[in-house]
Structure 1
Amino acid sequence: MKYRNRLKAVLSVALLCGALAACGMDPAQTPSESIQQPSVSEYTDDLIDAQTAFTLNLLREATKENPGENVLLSPYSAMQSLAMTANGASGNTLSEMTQVLGLPPDQLNEALCAQRIAMPDSRACKFSLANALWVNAHAGALRDAFQQTNETFYNAKITVAPFSQSTVKDINKWCKKQTDGMIPEILTDQSTDHPAMHLLNAIAFDGEWDEKFAEEPQAYSFWAYDGSEQVAMMMCGTEKYYLSDEKATGFLKYYKDGKYAFAAIKPNNDVLPDAYLENLTAAELHSLLVNITEPRSVTIGLPKFRWESSNDLIPLLKNMGMNAAFDPDAADFSMMTENQEQLWISDVLQKAVIEVDTNGTKAVAVTKTSVESSLYDENTGVFLNRPFIYMIVETENMTPVFAGVINTMFDAHY
């Protein structure tokens, strides 16, 4: 509970000092009657639970969809994009999105806004987040409540433009800028679809290790998902923060300032990550991350790796219970635009890149939700020499920002 109590204190100070500006409102403006000024959320604990469950469910479905392959996701980015979209949903579509995201939009909007303000960002450990909506000029006007909610709580920049190749270039330019050039595009120049809108989130993380690895990486064997022996350039050292329960062991390696950490989880008894995730509960995952064993000397081996991914999230979200939103005949996004044409989600694409080396970690992600219209101990050690799960977590309440699985070093080591 100490993590959650400390988080509430941080959120209280952050909201009192900067809620209007950070949530996209001019301090001189008066919030409209329909959109309340963000305040300290009563649902902080619920948000932590919702984000942990969403992370676990998304990661579990991704390992099922891609057995034996490496996985890289940003559940944090996906939730931002989908939460903005949910503000235009109604009926069964809204019910399913609420069930998958873990909170109804009114609670989720306020809680995510408060959390975004409180997310640490410093020179040594940089974190940035941006939201944007590109609306097709032929799609009709946005409903006032939908537009104001996304501007107020998500600081979303809204651009109305004809969806031409020029707009594709503008969206990709935004994507490249927000990810420090690591993701140069989210749309291809050959894109011929003309959806009603794109709802985008981009996040970027760049953190230096609090204690850098003293030695250069050495070649070690890595036993891949299929049992084959591969080569991993292993960064070896000692850490103080050991993770352990009946199912797995792991460690936290902190970045400078101590506000973020790399969490590594290695299932016990040669259990593979997908089997481990299948039986893991959100409560067990959160407990493993927060119940750190007293500081001790932990020998670690962490492969140096780089991985990039492009994930269609729709199959994963369907398996999690979100179906109506993707069905042109069943979707209800009647709270999104003034037009009466049928709207549905045609694409949820996420691109992500992570680099882990002796200096630290860089990780970026962009999530694009496209809405289509009918109109248009001293001996203790955790040596990651077989498949493992990893996350980048914000350490105040262990919110997962990135999550992934390394099943093979083929094309991953660098």
Structure 2
Amino acid sequence: TLAAMRATLELADLTEDESNTAYQSLIELLTGADPQVRFDIANSIWYRDIWTFSSDFLQRCRDYFEAVVQGLDFSDPGAADVINAWVKENTQGKIEEIVDKPINPLTAMFLINALYFKGTWTYEFDPEDTEEDEFTRLDGSKVPCRMMSQEADLLYLATDQFQAVDLPYGNGLFSMTILLPRSDVHINDLITGLTPESWESWISELDTHAVQLELPKIKLAYGLKMNDVLKALGIGVAFDGGQANFSRMLVEGAEYPGNLFIDKVKHKTFVQMDEEGTEAAAVTMVEMAFTSIGPSSLIMRVDRPFVFVIRERTSGALLFMGKIVEPVWEETS
């Protein structure tokens, strides 16, 4: 189980302490990189308090990941409320819940990661330049949108497959990279070609140009159960109640109702992009259970599906990545 997860995460060449220390350093770098950009990372572990778990495992999560660790009575209907309140607080209210009621009687633990990002564009869009426009969907139909517009000196790249532009936040350490496929290139084909190697190559080729940019305003929320995605990436064994081995999370000699495995992985994302900047939040929940009781101005008009990536430039860390196929602006209460 460990070998499969390390291979999928491309951590096979690092020891556990090295990978934990690297993550710890990355947290410190990202959360303090730019005083003009807010980026928060929060981790938590919530376990069913009738069972005991390895103190070494829990302490490592505290030490390296600054995780909140708390036991709860999962049979109490209020347990889900406690966890969801933590999620809401650590996403600034953008994601209100990740744990459903009632909690499965076999659920042993929730491991939750929350991200919150808020950055102001280095070059803000003027709201007076925002106009009603149209966005072309994948099927060719058109939907109305609010299109922002500006001309600025930006990092830009044009190939026969796509246009790319890099929009900096704050003092420039964080940025959003927009990848707009050419009109004859399907966005999924562009994504298929988006590998770590191609990404590094494209980023290295960005160069400063005067760019006339048109970009739709967006506000949307998205959720996904990630079991099938993670199995396809190579860690299916972790989801197999008969084969998963998470014994190092347990106390040797203690009694448990069955074998511990990953039952469910859920991910929720919120993204808002407007004239001022970008606000984004994400929560990932791993639910673990026992088996049973058991040159001139360049024009870039983003009026069709595109890819966006929010990144930190010095470390190369990718914070958020998404595919926008419709410029939804969802009103929230």
Report if TM-score (shorter chain) is over 0.5. yes
Deviation by residue 1:41-72 (Cα, 9 ceiling, x = unmatched): xxxxxxxxxxxxxxxxxxxxxxxxxxxxxxxx
Structure 1's 363 and 411: CA in aligned 2 closer, same or farther, altered over 3 A? Answer: closer
Residue 191 of structure 1: CA displacement?
Answer: 3.7
Aligned residue type for 2:283: V
- Counterpart CA distance in 1 for 2:296 and 2:146 is 24
- Equivalent residue for 1:160? 71
Aligned residue type for 2:61: N
Deviation by residue 1:19-45 (Cα, 9 ceiling, x = unmatched): xxxxxxxxxxxxxxxxxxxxxxxxxxx
Q: Check whether the contact 1:217–1:234 (CA below 8 A) recurs between aligned residues.
A: yes
Equivalent position SS for 1:335: helix
Q: Check whether the contact 2:94–2:281 (CA below 8 A) recurs between aligned residues.
A: yes
How high is the TM-score relative to the length of structure 1? 0.73
Gaps of 5+ in 2: none
- Equivalent residue for 1:280? 194
Q: Which protein is richer in helix relative to its size?
A: 1
Q: Check whether the contact 1:223–1:229 (CA below 8 A) recurs between aligned residues.
A: yes
Aligned residue type for 2:276: N
Counting only pairs closer than 5 Å after superposition, residues 4-403 of structure 1 correspond to structure 2 as: 93-104=1-12, 105-121=16-32, 122-139=34-51, 141-163=52-74, 164-214=76-126, 215-239=128-152, 240-293=154-207, 295-338=208-251, 339=254, 341-374=258-291, 375=293, 377-403=295-321
Q: Check whether the contact 2:217–2:329 (CA below 8 A) recurs between aligned residues.
A: no
- Counterpart CA distance in 2 for 1:345 and 1:120 is 29
Deviation by residue 1:339-358 (Cα, 9 ceiling, x = unmatched): 46311000111111000001
Aligned residue type for 1:100: T
Higher relative contact order (CA 8 A, sep 6+): 1
Residue 272 of structure 1: CA displacement?
Answer: 1.9
Gaps of 5+ in 1: 1-92
Residue 405 of structure 1: CA displacement?
Answer: 0.5
Superposed CA RMSD in Å reads: 2.0
- Counterpart CA distance in 2 for 1:381 and 1:109 is 44
Deviation by residue 1:89-126 (Cα, 9 ceiling, x = unmatched): xxxx1121112111144332121111111114455311
- Counterpart CA distance in 2 for 1:221 and 1:191 is 44
Deviation by residue 1:363-382 (Cα, 9 ceiling, x = unmatched): 00111101101356224222
- Equivalent residue for 1:406? 324
Q: Check whether the contact 2:268–2:284 (CA below 8 A) recurs between aligned residues.
A: yes
Q: Check whether the contact 2:85–2:96 (CA below 8 A) recurs between aligned residues.
A: yes
